[in-house]
A and B are shown apart, each in its own frame.
Chain A
Amino acid sequence: AEVSCTFATDFEPSLYTVKAVLILDNDGNRLLSKYYDTELYPSIKEQKNFEKSVFNKSHKADNEIAFLEGLTIVYKSSVDLFFYVVGSAQENELMLMMVLNCLFDTLSQILRKNVEKRYLLDNLDGVYLVVDEIIDGGIILESDPQQVIQKVNYRTVSEPAYGFVLFDYITGNTEGQGDKSQNV
């Protein structure tokens, strides 16, 4: 049951809008990346090269939009995180911007405005679910942050528990389940 993305080579009208979504840290390391166009960068090596050149081009100045390797890239940064949405050269830049804003605003609410690497990693499951609700196989599924939050219905790991959560990870401790009781 292989789902093959039908990104048109010429500009045929299609719902396939987003070619990739990336979240990198401030050293350019990949925290999350989804390539929806399977033909774009088929191997991990090519993907990481692309991410490197995107990061090098964007991390110094917060310019919001760039054109690289024949692709339109809109981006946004917050503290130590960089968010990117990639589309074809012909894609409507504002549509890509809608996706980026939706992703950013939703995560900002879920992480209670702490859009930083450590909070993001603490709530990585929530981040996966958010991305999954915004884009499905390159198609924009939802662009309204409120709708996304409602659909994901995610309970954030609260801040004070952070150290314990990590500790649990490592020691395999099963205690302390009450940490996550706080709802958004």
Chain B
Amino acid sequence: MRHSCMLLLCWQSDISGAPNTPGLSQYDIYNLVICCSQARIFNETPINPRRCLHILTKIIYLLNQGEHFGTTEATEAFFAMTRLFQSNDQTLRRMCYLTIKEMANISEDVIIVTSSLTKDMTGKEDVYRGPAIRALCRITDTTMLQAIERYMKQAIVDKVPSVSSSALVSSLHMVRMSYDVVKRWVNEAQEAASSDNIMVQYHALGLLYHLRKNDRLAVSKMLNKFTKSGLKSPFAYCMLIRIASRLLEETEGGHDSPLFDFIESCLRNKHEMVVYEAASAIVHMPNCTARELAPAVSVLQLFCSSPKAALRYAAVRTLNKVAMKHPSAVTACNLDLENLITDSNRSIATLAITTLLKTGSESSVDRLMKQISSFVSEISDEFKVVVVQAISALCQKYPRKHSVMMNFLSNMLRDDGGFEYKRAIVDCIISIIEENPESKETGLAHLCEFIEDCEHTVLATKILHLLGREGPRTPSPSKYIRFIFNRVVLESEAVRAAAVSALAKFGAQNDDLLPSVLVLMQRCMMDSDDEVRDRATFYMNVLQQKQKALNAAYIFNGLSVSVPGLEKSLHQYTLEPSEKPFDMKTVPLATTTVSEQKTELAPVASSKLPEKLAPSRQDIYQEQLAAIPEFQGLGPLFKSSEPVQLTEAETEYVVRCIKHTFASHMVFQFDCTNTLNDQLLQKVVVQMEPSEAYEIVQYVPAASLPYSQPGSCYSLVRLPEDDPTAVSCTFSCTMKYLVRDCDPNTGEPDDDGYDDEYVLEDLEVTVADHIQKVLKPNFAAAWEEVGDEFEKEETFALASVRTLEEAVNNIVSFLGMQPCERSDKVPENKNSHILFLAGKALRLFVWASCNIVICVMP
């Protein structure tokens, strides 16, 4: 009710010199209840159109302001309103239609106006007919629709454009509710599509497409017809372009298709709207070459200098999109974009600058960054995220510019902004730190400053974790302690707990800081929160032992098990009460790699769905295999390989194998597909002949393999026990099965069958199948923990390898171990590199530090 009062006060102030006008104190004239009671005026004879109009306007106004309307009052007012159909005042009648539409959901029995509306719809007054159709369709349901179907069909092809358009648009609204009825009007819609009126054309096209969109052939025919005959409506052209580009995408049509030619021809349309639609469609097509993009880019370039802000915005936004994939295609527009960076519309300026950052040279970076910082506070968060994304991309392109960027980012961190924006900045700074070791200290300092006043728990804990990992290894770790301990004093439980964990890492790594950390830890043991106290007590006790092995195992490198796996194991444990303590070793290890862990920067208009912790691929296999009785008692699944193809593509049978490694067995899972439609395969097994001392224990056949339905058979193999080093083995494989010929059409098989076999390619078991990747954030600590007596040093010649990168990739894939500390990234122009790898073999952890040196052979 507050809004109504406000409105009235505005009115009051408008009438100058009448402060004490009697009646103005009646604030509640804009109250709905009063309004409804005023609806009794509707019953006066003769009808006073002006007063009735005021009341209808008031009702619509108040509904629009969000006033609540009781069903009884609404229904009463609605019934009173129906009497106004007796008046022939045009505006009053039109307001009745609007009231019907507005009240359709609040009043009861709105269908009583059906006959009045039907009369207006088919009457002589053209001004009533269109609006009456739209009001009628708003209150009609599927059963009533059949009753007015005849009128609807006539209206669609009516020669008065507003009638035809109203009928077409209303039909489209009703497609969802009564598809089967509206579908019958397709011929009428077809006729309307050839109307001379541009809006009728557009609405008919929209309805036709909606009725046919699931029939690709019909859509294709329709496109063919309209692109040839040509349409007058620019709206209809835009619609055709959208339909054509969608069809191209669905059919994966090449750019030599007539549909593509049509879209390209629209670049020469006389309406800017159509030209822009076509350019945008081409830019959004996947796999467009720079040559195909060129004409679209050049029309967008022209739009950049348009006096219309919306057109400049549209053009630069689309060019920005092009620049993400094809920066070189946009360089021709650099001059036009330069002119836009001072545009008074900040959205346009931001898009222009971020596009230039993608296409421009390294020398222009400083200037552009300066330009952005002059107005970054004026743009919306969405665009700030765009700026951060551009900076992030730039840092990867020009690593030398990181100090400029870092400075800029730290200023942005200080500004106001929402969570998404702040997260984008923090992620960007973290990735700069990781890519450029020399920027680490400045970056950490900026982040420290940020958490001093950070309202986002997620970001604070993330930064504290990073400080714990990176801080102790910087030249002066002591300066971070203050920032971390401040969090313990000031923040919420989650942040305090993260701060305690970070502190522990400093104490474990820096002996001179240990006494002070222990003092701080002691204080944390008094914390009011359980989790914080528990962590402090735990770390306190570990740290006091002063043992490197303990520190490495419990402070630096925490749990490396997979979280869904741990959840499942614990659940299993609680289901079967036992005297034995829970064994952590039975839990499968996490298989995430560093690259997957890196969070992608959220795109503009990102969905706000919470991220779910999806079970990993291995967790799924574990579950599938556990369901097969033959594989009970094999213990936890240690590792599953990537699928290996054992047949060529497009052969009669397609077979691929996944190798599952268990403690003392291996299970080979053969996924087979029968591509012959005249055969049914039964009792399918893959027979294996090992080259080494592996023992075949059992085959689990696939019972039947009908045409094109994949099925799996399994082989269970025991690993050689006496010689654990003999891990590599080659198996020759043959698929054996019973064939029953069948009718290709019905799939009905013959009664009799015959045995047959099919030779597959050899299957290799390698070192990598016995080693699992393990993520160790602190490699040095883990390496120290092992000690010298277990170290073995060897030298290998990698004869066929040419570059360091190639060597790194080969070693990683051969050993199947996890590269640590981003050591798989080889710096440029070096001729030696050290690669750190971590992995877990069946019974022990393995660390490898590979010093790769390129030697030029004489």
Contacts and interface: CB of A to CB of B under 8 A. Distances in A.
Contacts of B206: 14-15, 139
Given A92-B238, A95-B273, A141-B199, A67 B345 contact: no
A129 B98 contact: yes
B130 interface: yes
B165 to A, nearest CB: 6
Contacts of B66: 44, 47-48
6 contacts: A4-B177, A69-B382, A74-B310, A98-B273, A152-B94, A171-B22
A155 B272 CA distance: 35
Given A15-B206, A65-B310, A89-B604, A174 B51 contact: yes
Interface in A143-184: 143, 151-155, 163, 166-171, 174, 177, 179-180
Interface of B: 3, 6-7, 10-11, 14-15, 18, 21-24, 26, 29, 48, 50-51, 53-54, 56-57, 60-61, 64-66, 90-91, 94-95, 98, 104-105, 110-111, 127, 130-131, 134, 137-141, 144, 162, 165-166, 169-170, 172-177, 199, 202-203, 206, 209-210, 213, 235, 238-239, 242-243, 246, 272-273, 276-277, 280, 308-311, 313-314, 344-347, 380, 382-383, 604-605
B29 A170 contact: yes
Pick the 10 closest A-B CB pairs, nearest first.
Answer: A70-B605, A15-B206, A44-B66, A13-B242, A64-B309, A170-B23, A94-B273, A63-B345, A93-B314, A125-B57
Interface size class of A (residues with CB under 8 A): 35 or more
Contacts of B50: 177, 179-180
A40 interface: no
B242 A65 contact: no
B238 A95 contact: yes
A65 B345 contact: yes
Contacts of A169: 29, 54
A155 B90 CA distance: 10
A113 interface: no
Given A2-B177, A65-B310, A67-B383, A132 B131 contact: yes
A179 B65 CA distance: 28
Most buried by A among B137, B174, B605: B605
Contacts of B94: 129, 152
B104 A1 contact: yes
A6 B169 CA distance: 12
Contact of A174 (B48, B210, B273, B280): B48
Contacts of B53: 125
A136 B273 contact: no
A124 B61 CA distance: 8
Most buried by B among A67, A124, A151: A67
A12 B131 CA distance: 28
A15 B176 contact: no
B64 A30 contact: yes
Nearest to A152: B94
B6 A15 contact: no
A47 to B, nearest CB: 8
Contacts of B11: 118, 121, 166
A167 B21 contact: yes
A19 interface: no
B115 to A, nearest CB: 15
Most buried by B among A1, A44, A141, A170: A1
Given A67-B383, A68-B380, A155 B277 contact: no
Contact of B15 (A3, A13, A166, A174): A166
B358 to A, nearest CB: 18
